[in-house]
Amino acid sequence: MSEATAVESSKAVIEVRNLTKDRESFLRKPLRVLDGLSLKVEKGMTYGLVGPNGAGKTTTIKLLLGLLRADQGSIAVLGAPPGDKAALCKIGFLPESPYFYSHLTGREFLTFSGQLFGLSGKALNERIEQLLATVSLQKKADERTGRYSKGMLQRLGLAQALINDPELLFLDEPMSGLDPIGRMDMRRIIEDLKKGGKTVFFNSHLLPDVAALCERVGLLSGGKLLAEAAIEEISPQRDARALEEFFLKHIDTPAQEVAT
């Protein structure tokens, strides 16, 4: 490997090559969920993966985290294979529909989450207070999560994804269930993470959020990456309409039936 290639590779926080994933349909027929996916995300980048329902976006995140195993291709996340324990300690993850133990309060759940990463005592308590303020949950921190609204659960989910101060953050539909104020808060938090040098990879159907937040956008449909570009190439003004035109230009009109 040349020195230039080594430097370029060192910048890649996520590197995926020819990734393929199949599953069986309910009729036990093979169904291709991802088909030859290749992409690269550099350190400090916010990357938005967009596409119609069933495009394979959630499957992609699960493969990158090691929650699913690829049938073909290679994945490197923070320089390690997916699911590597040392790498996972540097990763935060907010699933599309986060689940919490309904008998625990928000504060108790964050305490539990922090302990999983080896945090304890004053350092953990200070981190929890900081995150509760960040996601605007201070007043609800001592209520059981079973009483939380969907938006509150999403805020708590983001707090737990940040409990370990991760280098890399995966967000699956992070704006899901949030009201306009919640969306603005989420965008502010992601902007702050960008300023702090964090790498963020997220899926979203909300193109204005993708246009506002991302440096690079990938368009996934039918398990294939149909197009990929820097947001500056799509719209230097970060205009959501331009991103929508980019989306519609490349997408197949009849959506293929693949499942996330």
Model pLDDT, residue 5: 38
Same domain, 222 and 252: yes
Same domain, 33 and 148: no
Residue 200 lies in a domain: yes
Tell me the C-alpha distance between 182 and 137, whole Å. Answer: 11
Tell me the C-alpha distance between 204 and 103, whole Å. Answer: 30
Q: What is the CATH number of the domain that holds 189?
A: 3.40.50.300
Residue 4 lies in a domain: no
Spell out where the chain has E strands: 12-24, 30-42, 46-50, 72-77, 91-94, 168-172, 199-203, 216-221, 224-230
Residue 56 lies in a domain: yes
Main-chain phi, psi angles of 59, to 5 degrees: -60, -40
The total number of structural domains in the chain stands at: 2
Distance of CA 109 to the CA centre of its chain: 21
Model pLDDT, residue 10: 52
Cβ(30)–Cβ(24) below 8 Å: yes
Model pLDDT, residue 252: 57
Last residue of a domain, one of 165, 181, 197: 165
Tell me the C-alpha distance between 57 and 210, whole Å. Answer: 14
Cβ count near 140 (within 10 Å): 19
Same domain, 154 and 179: no
Last residue of a domain, one of 130, 165, 200: 165
- Each of the 260 residues of the chain gets a pLDDT tens digit; together they read 333 333 344 578 999 999 999 987 666 777 889 999 999 999 999 999 999 888 899 999 999 999 999 999 999 999 999 999 999 999 999 998 888 899 999 999 999 999 999 999 999 999 999 999 999 999 999 999 999 998 899 999 999 999 999 999 999 999 887 888 888 989 999 999 999 999 999 998 889 999 999 999 999 998 999 999 999 999 888 988 999 998 888 885 444 443 44
Q: Which residue has the tokens 């980048």?
A: 45
Same domain, 105 and 152: yes
Domain of 117 in residue numbering reads as 101-165
Cβ(106)–Cβ(115) below 8 Å: no
Roughly how many angstroms between the first and final C-alpha of the chain, as a whole number? Answer: 36
Q: Which two tokens stand for residue 260?
A: 């996330």
One-letter identity of residue 224: K
Same domain, 47 and 172: yes
150, containing H or E segment: helix 150-162
Same domain, 144 and 193: no
CA distances from 175 to 32, 78, 187, 204 (A): 28, 25, 9, 8
Tell me the C-alpha distance between 17 and 36, whole Å. Answer: 7
In terms of phi and psi (left: phi > 0; alpha: psi -120 to 50; beta: otherwise), the region of 238 is left
Cβ count near 155 (within 10 Å): 26
Last residue of a domain, one of 111, 135, 165: 165
Model pLDDT, residue 256: 43
Residue 35: is it exposed, middle or buried by C-beta count within 10 angstroms (0-12/13-18/19+)? middle
Same domain, 17 and 74: yes
Tell me the C-alpha distance between 257 and 236, whole Å. Answer: 34
Residue 80 lies in a domain: yes
- DSSP letters, 17-67, are EEEEEEEE-TTS-EEEEEEEEEEEEETT-EEEEE-STTSSHHHHHHHHHTS
